[in-house]
């Protein structure tokens, strides 16, 4: 389980996080809500270990994440504003490299995930030929293939069509039902049902 306790973080002169606390249990998704500039992305990047809070602690399974950053990173899958994919590689190659630096996975598993996100048969397509929405779906497949128990997703629903939102909620639901954890930011309500807890940042 993930516990962030009374985080404070300054960006230059701006006090972005003021005593923010989050706790996420296994089998739970947390929706970070709040207006622009409330620190949603900052909090997510702090939870991902990119930013160091000036005060407060982040614990994963009871241990401070600073004690074993690589181990914590291995338990985390992060989807940022950028997809983390290479435009010069095909969808299949992107998944191949990004998944297998984390865990062994066979080709059938990669292909199955691609068809799950609605891109069956597009494995050989260079990423630059895919639309923005299709690329986002490849990035989701990458998160789902990571095998990481903790998903940190920054605005995963933005600019997705209805079908893609359905695919994404399906992936998150399955992950959470299997005992996974998810923290995501979103402007609007998301159709995730009772598994989601909403946390509003002011």
Question: Interface residues with another protein (CB under 8 A)?
Answer: 11-13, 26, 48-52, 60-61, 70-71, 73-78, 80-89, 93, 97-98, 100-104, 142, 146-149, 179-180
Nearer to another protein, 52 or 162 (CB): 52
Nearer to another protein, 14 or 198 (CB): 14
CB contact set of 139 (below 8 Å; sequence gap of 6+): 79, 83, 84, 85
User: Least separation, in Å, of the C-beta of 95 and another protein?
Assistant: 12
Question: Using alpha carbons only, what angle is made at residue 172 by residues 159 and 177, rounded to the nearest 5 degrees?
Answer: 165
Nearer to another protein, 82 or 161 (CB): 82
User: Least separation, in Å, of the C-beta of 84 and another protein?
Assistant: 4
Distance between CA atoms of residues 178 and 108, nearest Å? 21
Local structure of 77: helix, strand or coil: strand
User: Least separation, in Å, of the C-beta of 160 and another protein?
Assistant: 17
The sign of the dihedral angle between the CA atoms of 40, 32, 43, 146 is negative
User: Least separation, in Å, of the C-beta of 189 and another protein?
Assistant: 26
Distance between CA atoms of residues 166 and 104, nearest Å? 28
Count H helices, E strands: the chain?
6, 9
User: Least separation, in Å, of the C-beta of 161 and another protein?
Assistant: 22
Contact between 123 and 90 (Cβ < 8 Å): yes
Distance between CA atoms of residues 76 and 58, nearest Å? 14
């Amino acid at each position: 389980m993930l516990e962030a306790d009374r985080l404070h973080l300054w960006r230059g002169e701006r006090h972005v996080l003021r005593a923010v606390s989050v706790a996420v249990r296994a089998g739970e998704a947390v929706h970070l809500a709040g207006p622009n500039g409330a620190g949603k992305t900052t909090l997510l990047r702090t939870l991902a270990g990119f930013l160091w809070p000036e005060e407060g602690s982040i614990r994963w399974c009871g241990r401070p994440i600073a004690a074993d950053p690589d181990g914590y990173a291995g338990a985390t899958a992060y989807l940022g504003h950028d997809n983390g994919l290479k435009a010069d590689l095909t969808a299949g190659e992107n998944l191949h490299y990004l998944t297998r630096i984390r865990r062994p996975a066979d080709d059938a598993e990669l292909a199955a995930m691609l068809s799950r996100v609605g891109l069956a048969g597009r494995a050989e397509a260079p990423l630059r030929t895919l639309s923005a929405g299709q690329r986002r779906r490849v990035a989701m497949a990458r998160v789902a293939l990571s095998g990481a128990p903790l998903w940190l997703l920054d605005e995963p629903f933005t600019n997705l069509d209805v079908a893609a939102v359905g695919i994404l909620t399906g992936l998150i639901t399955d992950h959470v039902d299997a005992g996974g954890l998810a923290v995501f930011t979103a402007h609007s309500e998301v159709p995730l049902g009772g598994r989601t807890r909403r946390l509003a940042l002011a």
